[in-house]
Amino acid sequence: MGDDAAAVGVSCAVHPDGVAAHVERQRTLLRAGWHLSDVFASRWSNDPIRAALDLSARIAPR
């Protein structure tokens, strides 16, 4: 979401076409200037409140 340098992408799972497609998509978005965050549930031990707080801090406007 967002435009140009303010664009933010959130990835919740590996691309359905596999790891190679996931990496290619990520590289393409990074080259376009996007800020990306992986938000896999295991990162926060399935604690949605902690996940929301961490994610909102990471994607806040810079």
Question: What pTM did the predictor assign?
Answer: 0.69
- Residue 4 confidence (pLDDT): 67
- Residue-wise pLDDT tens digits, 17-60: 999 999 999 999 999 888 888 888 788 888 889 988 988 888 77
Yes or no: say if 35 and 8 are a contact pair by the CB < 8 Å rule.
yes
What is the spatial distance between Cα 39 and Cα 36, in angstroms, rounded to a whole number? 10
Burial 21-60 (b: 16+ CB within 10 A, else e): ebeeebeebeeeebbeeebeeeebeeeeeebeeebeeebe
- Residue 23 confidence (pLDDT): 94
The answer to whether residue 2 scores a pLDDT higher than 70 is no
